[in-house]
């Protein structure tokens, strides 16, 4: 390899690196707003993976495209290419480097996961046996807002045990750790708030605990990430992160209000469909009654 | 003989001719010829590909607007369930098995598979369970509607109360598919291990045969776990047992373990033959040996091995304990290494070769580029923190469609074009082939790339309606999907037209090196007049070593 | 579409192909060890089949270790005595079938058939014993997850025992055909191997369900 080729390679690698770094920056815009403390960690990890991935992608597709553009021969050239069958050096290099890369990625991911776990475990801890939460001892003195989540086909209900308030909208205080205790009445549902980057399947007849810290006031969306039947797609809820004052105000007024059935899109759609003379689809499980929620 | 009049002589000879139905009827019979069976698999699976594709067109039509305004939700849920099930069990698996059925005996210098009648029986199960599955549309409760994963408890919910539900039919169809697959796997492994031609050691087998062997070994080792899970699910659905019913002591996550213990390795069963196709086609159109053939061959087996140790990465959000998530994250990342080695090998094969960008080569190169992209998103998905965010979103849908369409289906198209002359004795139309490639390549990227963005923004999968913020990605995806649908037309035109009236193909139109290219196009029933005696390794491009010592004796006269 | 295979060949290959679709008689230099292939394939199949049982075992263990409701109400456990006798009978039948195979190899056909029949008898004893045990149990298939697992595992195994006995019956019938073993006895070997497989599975099952309570 002569000097010119080496310089050219260095130039190309640098360009690829710059493009990859740029892509890594762009990656943040492909993600929702960072509304939880965990989301920053995950976004950084994702951006890192985009940089690595872009570099590899540019390298391989660049090589292939270059070959496609410059190495074509005419139909009448019936000669063969050089009989290069392999190279031990290359094989070692391109096995060892990926192993190192993969270990790097796994290590970084592990670190992020550990940090997230400190902020909130996502394991099934409340199994039947009644053993206390494995993270109880590790919990800080930091105050934790405890909320219960009930999922059923096809509605979300949030219960604030302290004030005995039930709602269909999840209100959360900003900058305060939240512990959710989640269960399902019927099938597996998925608790997913994209803005928080957090997801957890909810199993029936089991209680799963889940902690995180919202850091940005605003209105976000809760989606059902584990397909749970006919109206699974519209089993959604709003998540409102409020200042501590607004939050306690809301909680107080909700506690004072009466309980009424919540607006439930699945229930409404089902009833509309039943009323229609012609059945447009197949029989479905009847949605559970909408939860009774405090008007707040 | 000498005293018999001429007419009776010819009728005597006629009467002795084997009972092969003439022309097209052969392909509807219980033929035990692996070449006929291969074609039967390919055509049957393609019909189901069209059906599955039609379902996806309707789905994309629903998703082009945020509201659920085209179909009833139960119908939509049925669509994605049937689309996934049909594409996996009735397109990808049978088409790959069909191609392998056709090629493997030829490539190893055998006259047929080890168990020809078992082979035919395994094929005929495919239309049977295909029709069975489709018949569930006529049930009062409709088809299965719980996704191709069929997770309980949602999959065992039964609004009609009938015994025979779409779900029950689904389970039976998948079970029959499993039996067919195991029969095929036993056949392939026995054939490859015991029926290679004299001189064909393991490290003289084409890389494609290594890939098929590795894939079929996975089937044998992992498919029975799905069978066990499916049997238990069936019992829960019809016999009132409680294996997965949490109300009575069962555990729904156990089903997920059974399901994914098979279904993750299953993706390698699908991908490995596609890798094998790349390894076969690139050397031909680059006129260069496969780079690092032995390493590529062994990496197929390594992938098989590691692939059975990664399944929990589909269950990071299911309530699995932290140590389990970490363990499987490490093993999942590890499987990227032998896969990456293959990609580098293909790149090195192409580098400094003398390229001819015929249709098969275009499909393979395009597929490899899309595979690199999918591999990168795969490593992202392996990372637990990232997966917590994107699991069950359209990010995953985009990732796996880059694999199943962008890599595997494109590889299959490449293979069909490449071996079309050998199989049919005719040349396909190159212009139509290139048109197919361009439409498919653009369509695949337009359809599945925006899905990644939608997923990152939080759009979950298996939904017939979504929040308006995802509309832009979905419009692009739907347009891409329709383009993909249309790209199938030049392909069908090409295949049918060329088979009926294409130019006669020579034995070896691509001047490729391989045992199948040493016999006529199409090959005779017995494949080889005399069995080949192999004297060198595969991919001898650029060297002037003969592949066999008895080339002239392989064909009649 | 396909080029005709016989259009311009002499009559001899035509005869050969007509007799045998793969025309092996015509190609003397090839040897196809069909029996060897058959046995190899059968072993591969059995290895795969064992994974179904391994999966059931894993499922059984996982549920037993993690479920809150294991035994159905009113059920204390399983009686081990009768199943132990059944186990001894079934495992012994593996030895009997081994001796039967040996007799066949030594061409002692009568001895072979008698020992074979004895094996079938012992297998039937096992199945009958299992059926009696089933009928006396206090719980059913739908009695919680335990009932489901117990009947599924023992039933699936019992089905394999039944298939084993039926295969043995077929082999016994075939043994009456004169000169049946001229080309070898791979059918007998495979049926015998299947029986050993069924036995090993039972030993594991027995330990799992009856001993580990």
Place of tokens 């995950």: A42
Three-point CA angle A227, A232, A233, nearest 5°: 105
Cα A246 from chain centre? 27
Relative orientation angle of helices C34-66 and B252-286, to the nearest 10 degrees:
140
Do the chains contact at A201 and B294, CB–CB below 8 Å? no
How close C65 gets to chain B, by Cα (Å)?
A: 11
Q: What distance, in Å, lies between the first and last C-alpha atoms of chain A?
A: 75
Residues in A closer than 8 angstroms to C66, CB to CB, are: 127
Q: Summarize chain C as % helix, strand, coil (round to 5).
A: 75, 0, 25
For chain A positions 45-84, those within 8 Å of chain B (CB to CB) are 45-46, 49, 52-53, 56-57, 60-61, 63-64, 67-68, 71-73, 75, 77-84
How big is chain C, counted in residues? 213
Give the number of domains in chain C: 1
Contact A81, B288 (CB under 8 A): yes
What φ, ψ does residue A167 adopt, rounded to 5°? Answer: -135, 165
Q: Let me know if residue C157 belongs to a domain.
A: yes
pLDDT values of chain B reduced to their tens digit, one per residue, 557 residues: 556 565 556 555 555 554 444 577 888 889 999 999 999 999 999 999 999 999 999 999 999 999 999 999 999 999 999 999 999 999 999 999 999 999 999 999 999 999 999 999 999 999 999 999 999 999 999 999 999 999 999 999 999 989 999 999 999 999 999 999 999 999 999 999 999 999 999 999 999 999 999 999 999 999 999 999 999 999 999 999 999 998 888 999 999 999 999 999 999 999 999 999 999 999 999 999 999 999 999 999 999 999 999 999 999 998 888 899 999 999 999 999 999 999 999 999 999 999 999 999 999 999 999 999 999 999 999 999 999 999 999 999 999 999 999 999 999 999 999 999 999 999 999 999 999 999 999 999 999 999 999 999 999 999 999 999 999 999 999 999 999 999 999 999 999 999 989 999 999 999 999 999 999 999 999 999 999 999 999 999 999 899 999 999 998 87
Q: How high is the pLDDT of residue C73?
A: 87
How many Cβ atoms sit within 10 Å of the Cβ of residue B16? 15
- Tell me what pLDDT residue C182 has: 85
- Asked if residue B556 lies in contact with residue B544, where contact means CB atoms within 8 angstroms, the answer is no
Is the predicted pLDDT of residue A127 greater than 70, yes or no?
A: no
Find tokens 């009776």 and name the residue. Answer: B8
Query: Of the candidates B263, B208, B72, B156, which has an alpha carbon nearest to the alpha carbon of residue B512?
Result: B208
Torsion angle, CA of B203/B284/A84/B212, rounded to 10 degrees? Answer: -30
Whether residue C103 lies inside any domain: the answer is: yes
Q: Is residue C104 part of a domain?
A: yes
The domain locations on chain B are 32-205
Please provide the distance, in angstroms rounded to a whole number, between the alpha carbons at the two ends of chain B: 24
Mean pLDDT of C55-73: 91
Q: What is the pLDDT of residue B110?
A: 96
Tell me if chain A has a CB within 8 Å of the CB of C20.
no
Give the distance from CA B97 to its chain's centroid.
7
Reported as a single tens digit per residue, the pLDDT across A132-148 is 333 333 445 566 888 99
CA distance A231 to B17: 62
CATH architecture of structural domain A144-294 = Sandwich (2.60)
Angle of helix C34-66 relative to helix B207-238, nearest 10 degrees, comes to 50
Interface test with chain B among A282, A283, A284, by most B beta carbons within 10 Å:
A282
B window 287-306, beta carbon within 8 A of A: 287-289, 291-295
> What is the structure's pLDDT at A139?
46
C136: in domain: yes
* Sequence spans of domains, chain A: 3-69+90-119, 144-294
Q: Where are the beta strands (DSSP E) in chain A?
A: 144-152, 155-160, 165-167, 170-173, 177-184, 189-193, 198-202, 208-212, 218-224, 237-242, 259-261, 292-294
Residues of chain B contacting C148 with CB distance shorter than 8 Å: 232, 235, 241-243, 250
- Smallest CA-to-CA distance from B187 within B18, B38, B29, B293 is with B38
Beta carbons of A83 and B543 less than 8 Å apart? yes
| Mean pLDDT score, C142-171 | 95
Mean local confidence (pLDDT), A67-90: 92
CB of B187 closer than 8 Å to CB of B38: no
Q: What is the token pair recorded at B164?
A: 């025979």
DSSP, res B406: I
> What is the pTM for the complete model shown?
0.92
The radius of gyration computed from the CA coordinates of chain A, to the nearest angstrom, equals 27
Chain B residues touching A30 at Cβ < 8 A? 453, 456-457
From the candidate CATH numbers 3.40.190.10, 1.10.357.140, 3.40.50.300, 1.20.210.10, the one assigned to the domain spanning B32-205: 1.20.210.10
State phi, psi for C67 to the nearest 5 degrees: -85, 145
- The C-alpha atoms of residue A73 and residue A68 are separated, in whole angstroms, by 10
Model confidence at C28: pLDDT above 60: no
Are A127 and C66 within 8 A, CB to CB?
yes
* CB < 8 Å to A206, chain C: none
Contact B246/A49, CB-based, under 8 Å? Answer: no
Q: What is the pLDDT of residue A129?
A: 32
Structural domain containing residue C175:
52-211
Evaluate whether B478 touches B61 at the Cβ level (below 8 Å): yes
- Inter-residue long-range contacts of B364-367, CB under 8 Å, 24+ positions, other chains counted: B364/B277, B364/B278, B364/B281, B364/B282, B364/B285, B364/B410, B364/B411, B364/B414, B365/A64, B365/A68, B366/B410, B366/B437, B366/B440, B366/B441, B367/B274, B367/B278, B367/B406, B367/B407, B367/B408, B367/B410, B367/B411, B367/B414
pLDDT computed for residue B26 by the predictor: 83
Is the minimum CB–CB distance between A265 and chain B shorter than 8 Å?
A: no
> DSSP string of C41-105?
HHHHHHHHHHHHHHHHHHHHHHHHHH-S--SPTT------HHHHHHHHHHHHHHHHHHHHHHHHH
- pLDDT bracket for residue A209 (50, 70, 90): confident
Give every CB contact of residue A137 below 8 A, 6+ residues apart in sequence. none
A129 CB neighbours in chain C (<8 A) are: 68
Q: Is residue C126 part of a domain?
A: yes
The answer as to whether C184 is a domain residue is yes
pLDDT at A78: 86
Q: For residue B72, what are the CA distances in angstroms to A231, A272, A281, B99, B187?
A: 10, 12, 5, 38, 44
Number of A to C CB contacts under 8 A, please give it.
5
- The pLDDT score that the predictor gives to residue A118 is 60
Q: Is the pLDDT of residue C21 over 80?
A: no
> A153, A228 in Cβ contact below 8 A?
yes
Q: How much is the pLDDT for B386?
A: 96
d(CA A229, CA B256): 17
Taking chain C, what is the end-to-end CA distance rounded to the nearest angstrom? 66
In a domain, C88, yes or no: yes
Task: Spell out which chain A residues touch chain C, with contact meaning CB-CB distance below 8 angstroms.
Answer: 127-129
The 3-state DSSP class for residue A163 equals coil
CB burial of residue B468 (10 Å; 0-12, 13-18, 19+): exposed
């Amino acid at each position: 390899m002569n000097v010119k080729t080496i310089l050219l390679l260095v130039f190309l690698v640098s360009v690829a690196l710059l493009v990859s770094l740029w892509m890594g920056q762009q990656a943040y815009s492909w993600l929702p707003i960072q509304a939880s403390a965990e989301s920053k960690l995950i976004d950084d990890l994702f951006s890192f993976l985009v940089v690595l991935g872009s570099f590899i992608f540019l390298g391989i597709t660049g090589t292939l495209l270059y070959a496609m553009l410059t190495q074509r021969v005419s139909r009448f050239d019936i000669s063969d290419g050089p009989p290069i069958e392999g190279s031990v050096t290359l094989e070692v290099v391109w096995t060892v480097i990926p192993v190192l890369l993969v270990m790097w990625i796994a290590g970084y991911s592990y670190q992020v996961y550990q940090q997230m776990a400190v902020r909130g475990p996502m394991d099934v801890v409340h199994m039947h046996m009644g053993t206390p939460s494995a993270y109880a001892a590790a919990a800080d003195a930091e105050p934790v807002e405890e909320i219960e989540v009930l999922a059923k086909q096809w509605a979300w209900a949030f219960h604030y045990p302290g004030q005995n308030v039930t709602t269909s909208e999840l209100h959360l205080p900003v900058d305060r750790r939240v512990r959710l205790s989640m269960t399902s009445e019927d099938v597996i549902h998925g608790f997913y708030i994209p803005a928080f980057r957090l997801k957890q399947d909810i199993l029936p007849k089991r209680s799963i605990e889940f902690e995180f810290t919202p850091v940005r006031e605003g209105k976000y969306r809760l989606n059902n990430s584990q397909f749970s039947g006919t109206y699974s797609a519209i089993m959604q809820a709003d998540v409102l992160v409020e200042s501590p004052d607004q939050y306690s105000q809301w909680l107080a007024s909700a506690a004072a209000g009466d309980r009424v059935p919540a607006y439930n899109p699945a229930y409404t759609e089902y009833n509309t469909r039943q009323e229609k003379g012609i059945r447009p689809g197949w029989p479905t499980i009847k949605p559970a009654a909408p939860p009774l929620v405090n008007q707040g | 003989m000498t005293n018999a009049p001429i007419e009776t002589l010819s009728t005597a000879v006629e009467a002795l001719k084997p009972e092969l139905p003439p022309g097209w009827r052969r392909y509807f019979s219980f033929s035990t010829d692996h070449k006929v069976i291969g074609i039967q698999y390919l055509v049957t699976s393609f019909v189901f590909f069209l059906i599955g594709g039609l379902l996806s067109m309707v789905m994309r039509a629903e998703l082009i607007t945020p509201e659920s305004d085209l179909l009833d939700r139960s119908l939509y849920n049925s669509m994605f369930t049937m689309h996934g099930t049909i594409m996996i069990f009735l397109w990808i698996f049978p088409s790959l098995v069909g191609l392998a059925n056709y090629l493997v005996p030829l490539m190893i210098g055998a006259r047929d598979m080890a168990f020809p009648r078992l082979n035919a029986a395994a094929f005929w199960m495919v239309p049977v369970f295909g029709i069975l599955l489709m018949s569930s549309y006529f049930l009062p409760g409709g088809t299965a509607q719980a996704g191709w994963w069929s997770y309980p408890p949602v999959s065992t919910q039964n609004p009609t109360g009938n015994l025979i539900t779409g779900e029950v039919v689904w389970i039976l169809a998948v079970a029959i598919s499993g039996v067919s697959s195991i029969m095929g796997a036993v056949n392939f492994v026995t054939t490859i291990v015991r029926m290679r031609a004299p001189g064909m050691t393991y490290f003289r087998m084409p890389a494609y045969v290594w890939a098929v062997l590795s894939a079929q070994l996975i089937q044998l080792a992992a498919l029975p776990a799905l069978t066990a899970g499916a049997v238990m699910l069936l019992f829960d659905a019809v016999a009132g047992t409680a294996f997965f019913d949490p109300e009575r002591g069962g555990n729904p996550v156990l089903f997920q373990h059974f399901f994914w213990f098979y279904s993750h390795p299953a993706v390698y069963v699908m991908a490995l033959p596609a890798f094998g196709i790349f390894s076969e086609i690139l050397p031909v159109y680059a006129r260069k040996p496969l780079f690092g053939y032995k390493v590529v061959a062994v990496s197929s087996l390594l992938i098989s091995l590691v692939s059975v140790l990664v399944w929990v990465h589909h269950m990071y959000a299911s309530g699995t304990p932290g140590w389990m998530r970490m363990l499987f994250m490490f093993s999942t990342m590890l499987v990227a290494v032998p896969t990456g080695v293959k990609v580098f090998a293909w790149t090195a094969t192409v580098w400094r070769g003398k390229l001819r960008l015929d249709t098969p080569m275009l499909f393979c190169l395009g597929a490899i580029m899309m595979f690199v992209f999918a591999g990168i998103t795969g490593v992202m998905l392996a990372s637990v923190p990232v997966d917590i965010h994107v699991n069950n979103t359209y990010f995953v849908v985009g990732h796996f469609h880059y694999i199943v369409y962008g890599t595997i289906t494109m590889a299959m198209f490449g293979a069909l074009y490449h071996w079309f002359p050998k199989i049919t004795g005719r040349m396909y139309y190159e212009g139509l082939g290139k048109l197919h490639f361009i439409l498919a390549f653009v369509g695949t990227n337009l359809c599945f790339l925006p899905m990644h963005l939608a997923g990152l923004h939080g759009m979950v999968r298996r939904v017939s309606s979504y929040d308006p913020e995802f509309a832009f990605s979905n419009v692009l995806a739907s347009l891409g999907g329709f383009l993909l649908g249309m790209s199938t037309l030049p392909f069908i035109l090409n295949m049918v037209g060329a088979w009926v009236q294409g130019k006669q193909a020579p034995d070896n139109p691509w001047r490729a090196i391989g045992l199948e290219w040493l016999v006529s196009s199409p090959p005779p029933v017995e494949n080889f007049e005399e069995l080949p005696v192999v004297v060198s390794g595969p991919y001898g491009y650029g060297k002037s070593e003969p592949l066999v010592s008895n080339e002239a004796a392989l064909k009649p006269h | 579409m396909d080029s005709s295979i016989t259009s311009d060949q002499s009559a001899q290959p035509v005869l050969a192909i007509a007799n045998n679709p793969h025309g092996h008689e015509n190609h003397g230099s090839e040897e196809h060890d069909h029996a060897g292939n058959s046995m190899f394939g059968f072993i591969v199949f059995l290895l795969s089949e064992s994974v179904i049982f391994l999966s059931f075992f894993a499922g059984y263990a996982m549920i037993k270790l993690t479920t809150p409701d294991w035994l159905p109400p009113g059920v204390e456990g399983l009686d081990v005595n009768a199943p132990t006798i059944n186990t001894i009978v079934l495992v012994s039948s593996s030895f009997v079938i081994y001796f039967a195979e040996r007799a066949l190899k030594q061409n002692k056909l009568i001895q072979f058939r008698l020992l074979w029949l004895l094996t079938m008898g012992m297998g039937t004893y096992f199945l009958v014993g299992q059926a009696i045990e089933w009928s006396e149990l206090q719980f059913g298939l739908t009695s919680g997850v335990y009932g489901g697992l117990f009947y599924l595992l023992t039933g699936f195994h019992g089905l394999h025992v039944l298939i084993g006995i039926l295969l043995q019956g077929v082999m016994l019938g075939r043994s009456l055909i004169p000169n049946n073993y001229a080309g070898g006895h791979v059918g007998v070997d495979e049926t015998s191997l299947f029986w050993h497989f069924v036995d090993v599975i039972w030993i594991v099952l027995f330990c799992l369900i009856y001993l580990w309570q």
